[in-house]
Amino acid sequence: MIQSIEDGFRIALQSYAGAEPKMTLRIQRDSSGCGTTIRLIGRIQSRDVQELKEQLSSAGPKAALDLDEVTLVDVDVVRFLGACQAEGTEVLRCSPYIREWMFREMGGER
């Protein structure tokens, strides 16, 4: 479930029967004259990719993804991030394991 908050933050919540909702992904947008940075916080799963596509689409041509606080991703997310980067979206502050995985998914070898 995705929940909107008054100040524009979007939070994806995962609910378990009888348990408190657990945050999996928080998305924050920072717009400046140089473009929009979409800051991702938490765990990104394949079910979040469509929301990320919509966020990038509405952010305009100078969008960047900031992954500094991303804790976990799956293969679909890695492929999406690689495609974004190949299309010119800047992927900022990406952890080394995600960057390496993106490289390998895009056909790179080490």
- Residue written as tokens 């999996």? 24
- Residue 11: name the closest of 44, 60, 58, 35 by CA: 44
* Residue at token pair 């960057």: 99
In single-letter form, the type of residue at position 69 comes to: E
Q: Domains in the chain, start-ordered, CATH in brackets?
A: 2-105 (3.30.750.24)
* Segment 15-41, tens digit of pLDDT: 445 555 566 899 999 998 889 999 999
| pLDDT tens track, the chain, 110 positions | 444 444 444 554 444 455 555 668 999 999 988 899 999 999 999 999 999 999 999 998 899 999 999 999 999 999 999 999 999 999 999 999 999 999 999 987 65
> The whole model's pTM is what?
0.79
Spatial separation of the C-alpha atoms in residues 106 and 39, rounded to whole Å: 23
